[in-house]
Amino acid sequence: MSTEYVSGDLFVNRFGVEAFAHGCNCQGSMGAGIAKVFRECYPDMCEEYRRLCKSTPRQFNLGDSFLWKADQKLWVFNLGTQEHYWRCRASYQAITESLEAMRRQANEEGIRSIAMPRIGAGYGGLPWNEIRPIVEHVFSDWAGKVYVYEEFVPGQ
C-alpha cells in the first residue's frame, strides 16, 4: 500500500519525505490549525499563496494544487480543499481533485514521498472516516509513499 497512517509531528519529518501537503482555503488565509504552522515556517510561500488567492482572476481555486518549491526546505503542496476559512466545510470533490492534481505534480517533479495531516478534517469540518477512502483511492497504485498523520504527537 502506498499510504501509511502514522502518529507524530509532521514537521519532525521522521520518514525523510521529499514534500509536505496540507489543505487550504481559497481566500488566502493561513490563520489557524496546521496552516498557521506552515505560514510561520514558510512565510514566502504564504505570501505567494495569498497573492494567488487575491489575484483577478483568482489563480488558486477549489481542487487546485499549488506546489511551493524552496531551495533549502521541503517543498509544499497547498491543496485547495475549501472555499472559505471560517464556518465553511471542505468539499469532497475539491479534496479528490486536489489530491489527483498533487499526484500528477509529484510524478512530474519526481517526488516519491509526501507527508500530510488529515486534510479536510479538523478545520475542514468533514469526518475523517469519509475522507480516508478518498486518499486511499487516489494513491492506491501510486509508485510513491504518502504518510498521513492521523494523530499529532509533539516532537515525534
- Condensed to tens digits (0 to 9), the pLDDT of residues 101-138 reads 999 999 999 999 999 999 999 889 999 999 999 999 99
Q: Rounded to whole angstroms, how far apart are CA atoms 114 and 19?
A: 5
Q: What per-residue confidence (pLDDT) applies to 87? A: 67
- pLDDT confidence tier of residue 154, bands split at 50, 70 and 90: confident
Q: Rounded to whole angstroms, how far apart are CA atoms 104 and 100?
A: 6
Q: What per-residue confidence (pLDDT) applies to 122? A: 87
∠ CA 132-139-71, rounded to 5°:
105
| H or E element at residue 117 | strand 113-117
Residue pair 116/147 in contact (Cβ under 8 Å)? The answer is: yes
Q: What per-residue confidence (pLDDT) applies to 49? A: 97
Q: What per-residue confidence (pLDDT) applies to 41? A: 94
Percent of the chain with pLDDT over 70: 97
Q: Considering only CA atoms, which of 117, 156, 113 is closest in space to residue 8?
A: 156
Q: Rounded to whole angstroms, how far apart are CA atoms 152 and 156?
A: 9
Domain with 31, as residue range(s), is 3-152
Average pLDDT of the chain, as a whole number: 94
Neighbour count for residue 30 (Cβ, 10 Å): 24
Q: What is the DSSP letter of 40?
A: H
C-alpha cell of residue 55: 489575484
Determine the average pLDDT of the residues in 81-101: 91
pLDDT at residue 1 tops 80: no
Number of domains in the chain: 1
Q: What per-residue confidence (pLDDT) applies to 123? A: 86
Residue pair 146/18 in contact (Cβ under 8 Å)? The answer is: no
Cα 105 to Cα 48, 99, 127, 154: the distances in Å are: 18, 10, 26, 30
- pLDDT confidence tier of residue 22, bands split at 50, 70 and 90: very high
Q: What per-residue confidence (pLDDT) applies to 64? A: 98
User: pLDDT (tens digit, 9 = 90+) per residue, 76-87?
Assistant: 999 999 998 766
pLDDT at residue 57 tops 80: yes
Which CATH number fits the domain that encloses residue 37?
A: 3.40.220.10
